[in-house]
Amino acid sequence: MVKGLSHMTFIVSDLDRMEVLLTTVLNARKVYDSGDRTFSVSRERFFLVGDGAADPDAPAPIWIATMEGAPLPSPTYNHVAFKIEETDYERCLAAIQSLGLEVREGRARVDGEGGSIYFHDYDNHLFELHTGTLSERLARYARER
């Protein structure tokens, strides 16, 4: 039985550059660096995003693995979305822009489904920072019926 998300792995061309992105935009904390050793398919680093320890109702921190390798050949809409608070929207947007990353225009939204910031990293992975929740979105969509 699936119990939840274990981790996400991103293949990146530059581990240092991705570390800056994760720590600057997502406030990630690095918990492991393989250095020149290879236990998996390439050099890797592990990060934790989120702080479940501060709030017993918060989800557990998210484990993100980065592994050195070739970037994706092109950007797509396949993406991972991280939940942010509305009050963090402007800080996150400024952090993304400070790294020279282009913010992608999001899809059209209806009032009540939350706001999103979309951006591609240096290796064509698409990230979304989203202020809404699933229950808010479903409630909003139900009002359209």
Convert the pLDDT of each residue in 91-125 to its tens digit: 999 999 999 998 987 666 667 678 899 999 999 99
Beta pairing partners, 9: 65
Rounded to whole angstroms, the Cα distance separating 100 from 36 reads: 28
pLDDT of residue 24: 96
Please give the pLDDT value at position 145: 64
* Mean pLDDT (whole number) for 4-33: 95
**pTM, to two decimals:** 0.84
Averaged pLDDT for residues 46-69: 82
Residue 142 confidence (pLDDT): 79
Does domain 71-145 correspond to CATH entry 3.40.50.2000? no
1-69 and 71-145 agree in CATH topology: yes
Mean pLDDT, all residues of the chain: 88
Q: What is the pLDDT of residue 141?
A: 76
Q: Where are the chain's structural domains?
A: 1-69, 71-145
Domain 1-69 falls in which CATH fold? 2,3-Dihydroxybiphenyl 1,2-Dioxygenase; domain 1 (3.10.180)
44 has catalytic annotation: yes
Q: Which of 19, 44, 90, 136 is catalytic?
A: 44
Between the alpha carbon of residue 72 and those of residues 12, 13, 43, 53, 125, the distances in Å are 8, 9, 17, 34, 7
For residue 65, name the pLDDT band (cuts at 50, 70, 90).
very high
Beta strands in 13-144 (DSSP E): 29-33, 44-49, 62-68, 79-83, 103-104, 116-120, 126-130
Structural tokens at position 126: 């698409």
Give the E-state strand segments of 1-145 in sequence order.
7-12, 29-33, 44-49, 62-68, 79-83, 103-104, 116-120, 126-130
- Residue 53 binned pLDDT confidence (cut-offs 50, 70, 90): low
**pLDDT, mean of residues 15-29:** 96
pLDDT at 108: 64
**Closest by Cα among 33, 27, 2 to 15:** 33
